[in-house]
Structure 1
Amino acid sequence: MTSSFTPIRAGFMPLTDCAPLVMASVLGLDERHGIKLVLSREHSWSGMRDRLIAGSLDAAHVLYGLIYGVEMGIGSRAVPMAVLMNLSRNGQAITLSRALAEQGVFDGPSLAAHMRRNRRKFTFAHTFPTGNHAMFLYYWLAAAGIDPLRDIQSATVPPGQMAASLAAGHIDGFCAGEPWGARAVQDGCGVTVAASQDIWPDHPGKALGATAAFADANPQACRALVGALLEAGRWIDASPGHRDATAEILASPAWVNAGRELIAGRLQGRYEDGLGRGWLDPDPLHFHAHGEANFPWLSDGMWFMTQHRRWGLLREDPDYLAVAARVNRVGLYREAAELAGVAAPAGLLRSSVLMDGRVWNGCDPRAYISAFDGAAPRPLFAHGAPQ
């Protein structure tokens, strides 16, 4: 008997914030919207990118900055891309090695002081060169006066390998999604020094990404997919019990393949830093937040382009607003949100205050970048670190 559901091949990485895709499938929310999710567990963000470009994936749980990197041809051929919605906000972390913590490093300024004393380049890992974690890591370092282009060695490591790489001494710290920061703390090799919401409160997390070609050719399927994922995010955020149930499901080898308690802790906002301090974060990982976590703000996409420009990944200023308006499918999102009974804001830009007090609102991206140029981090090593 032929299924009446439209299949959608969707990739995900084994991270806590893949939850909307997994729960939409497990709860049957995809079928309620006339589609059938065929989920594919990927092993690296570069592999995810390549499969999206090649058309072997229709859509994916993907780094926001990766989508814009592909759109702009950074590190790969330029391919028109689409952000259909935000899947999450907050809930990533910067983790440093326990060895650094034992030498008095517990935040950005103490790391900068330690680097000046030791006069060597430390190695910090992110998950993809244009991705969220690279941009958050660089922002955090630069706010402490550390130039990520000159004062450190950068490495790209798949998120699931971060804790093991830290334990082996291959890297001195990393920025990645959960539960891998929590795993480093649990294993005793890492210390959490910042959650990503400390860098940019309520920042965009992963996006639902696709090629523009797929979005243009399949608008009905895309609206159905967004509707199903809005319902999934709403269900997860509805209660602590739903979050615990989500952690139980994500723990399976088919999905994240990590202990339920490891996933559940930070999913519920419970943090341990590895140095004996614990806290309940008032604004941890969210998947819905009454729709506020899902709207594809043009200013969110523009911010990643400003950081790509800041760190030389873009050689010239693009037309920030025009690119974001092309990539972020706001009209499609609003149609899907209306069908799912989710409120959508009337505007396209939002205002945020980041950790260094700078305001980002998308109104003048060139001036925003120029302000960084005028206050560039002082190089720790005027003539380069000793080799």
Structure 2
Amino acid sequence: MSDNRTDFTALHALAWVAGSDAPEKNALNIGFMPLSDAASVVVAATQGFAQPYGLTLNLHRQASWAGINDKLLSGELDAAHALYGMVYAIGLGISGAPASNMAVLMGLNQNGQSINLSPSLKADGVTSPAALKQHADQPGTTLTFAHTFPTGSHAMWLYYWLASQGIHPLHDVHSVVVPPPQMLAHVQAGRIDGFCVGEPWSAQAADLGQGFTVATSQSIWPDHPEKVLACTQAFVEQYPNAARALVMAVLEASRFIETSLENRRSTAQLMSSRDYLDVPLAHIEPRFMGHYHDGLGQQWQDAHPLSFHNAGTANAPYLSDGMWFMTQFRRWGLLREDPDYLAVARQVQQLDLYCRAAGSLEIPLPSSPMRRSQLLDGSVWDGTDPAGYARSFALHARHDQ
């Protein structure tokens, strides 16, 4: 093991022999938001993946990410389908609550979010990034965009995309927080000019003619990190076997979803039910399967669709994934100083626990918890110089040096 990297393969030898350690707590309360990317948690809880590990997963649908934030901290929820950035914001004390040590148990998905613009912008001919930039530059114009949580992934994708088009997300637009299921209502009421959210809410808006998709999150960062299975560090310390069993159940469910197209379809149908998304299957299944239309007449099969497993790469808790969100907090002034990016990520990302669970299931482990990616503006992120990366962008908040 080097000074700044952890070798996943070395941790593989720590694999847990299933059944050797009974969970300390058998019934777990698991929170989720009504989004397509909660599927692996729902499947784990309802399709028999938890019981072999001695667990019962009690699902609790939540109305907002703020509610998940609060209930994780209070202990009302043992773990949750959570925003990557939200978990780090809680740990860094920038979520509106006192700092509390948090844990990312595993990734739940990559890709599958979208940025939509409103029917009024479409009517004005604003149907491309260049047209949006021109519109935003007009004197007296104030655009209002919605995301789902101030430090969440949707805020970061929205800010990153706007900045890549030369639109400053803090100066040139007004941002508001709207729970995912309420996005369409805010568009219909004319309160917002656009939004970034997880599916199926962007697809539903496009299907109903309530705007159009101008960018997918995977067009910003192909195979980007998205939702995670999160809990407090205290939960991992108090119930280590239960935490590991939970990861194994959700890992098996994640793998199951991607075993066949039929499994994806049946999962989309499950998610459409009243208990989970309560949305017609026609608004869920296409993008769940990677089939897109943007509401402007364009259709495509996405090269980087919503992924729940991807041979384990969607689930591995890469250190660099967690570090990226901190670089964006720094970029946009949510952090006034650079944290010790690597040290914080090592504390939050539960590498040992994940590798034991994945090793027991013979799920491939990456050779390194750092990965290299190129984003739409040409910037390369590999975790090697997070402070420099945060300062490298042409558009950013003023940093107090």
Do 2:24 and 2:239's aligned partners in 1 also have CA atoms closer than 8 Å? no
The residue aligned with 1:135 is 156
Structure 1 runs of 4+ with >2 Å offset: 106-109
Q: Does the aligned pair in 2 maintain the 1:143–1:377 contact within 8 Å?
A: no
Change (3 A) 1:91 1:326: same
Distance 2:129 2:335 in 1: 26
Number of residue-to-residue matches in the alignment: 375
Q: Which residue in 1 is equivalent to 2:193?
A: 172
C-alpha displacement of 1:5 = 7.7
2:25–2:242 contact (8 Å) kept in structure 1: no
Q: Given that residues 5 and 36 in structure 1 are in contact (C-alpha distance below 8 angstroms), is that contact kept between their aligned partners in structure 2?
A: no
- Going from structure 1 to structure 2, the CA distance change for 1:47 and 1:10 (only over 3 Å counts) comes to same
2:357 aligns with 336
**Structure 2 counterpart SS, 1:369:** helix
Per-residue Cα deviation, 1:117-169 (whole angstroms, up to 9, x for no partner) = 35311100000000000000000000111111111110000000001111110
C-alpha separation in 1, matches of 2:126 and 2:373: 28
The equivalent of 1:381 in structure 2 is: none
Counterparts of 1:1-387 in structure 2 under 5 Å? 6-74=26-94, 75-117=96-138, 119-372=140-393, 375-376=394-395
Secondary structure at the aligned position of 2:310 is classed as coil
Q: TM-score, normalised to structure 1's length?
A: 0.95
Distance 2:165 2:396 in 1: 8
CA RMSD of aligned residues (A): 1.6
1:253-283 Cα deviation digits (max 9, x unpaired): 1111111121101000011111111111021
Partner SS state of residue 149, structure 1: coil
Q: Distance in 1 between matches of 2:55 and 2:334?
A: 37
Gaps of 5+ in 1: 379-387
8 Å Cα contact 2:145-2:174 kept in structure 1: yes
Deviation at 1:376, TM superposition (A): 2.4
1:20 positional shift: 0.4
Name stretches of at least 5 consecutive residues in structure 2 with no aligned partner: 1-22
User: Structure 1, residues 24-52: CA drift from partner, whole Å, max 9, x if none?
Assistant: 12210000222110110000000110000
User: 2:294 is matched by which residue type in structure 1?
Assistant: D
Q: Distance in 1 between matches of 2:128 and 2:148?
A: 21
Q: Is the 8 A contact 2:24 2:241 kept in 1?
A: no
For 1:377 and 1:337, the matched residues in 2 are separated by 38
Contact 2:128 2:214 (8 Å CA) reproduced: yes
Residue 189 of structure 1, CA deviation: 1.1
Q: Could you tell me how far apart the structure 2 residues matched to 1:305 and 1:370 are?
A: 12
CA displacement 1:179-214 (0-9 Å, x = unmatched): 000111122111000110000110011000000000
The Cα of 1:346 is off from its aligned counterpart by 2.7
Which residue identity lines up with residue 298 of structure 2 in the other structure?
A: R
Judge conservation of contact 1:126–1:133 (CA < 8 Å) in 2: yes
The one-letter code matched in structure 1 to 2:164 is A
| Identity score, percent | 51
Counterpart code for 2:91:
E
Structure 2 letter corresponding to 1:11: G
Contact 2:72 2:78 in 1 (8 A): yes
CA separation in 1, counterparts of 2:308 and 2:48?
Answer: 18
Helix, strand or coil at the partner of 1:29? coil
SS at match of 2:292: strand
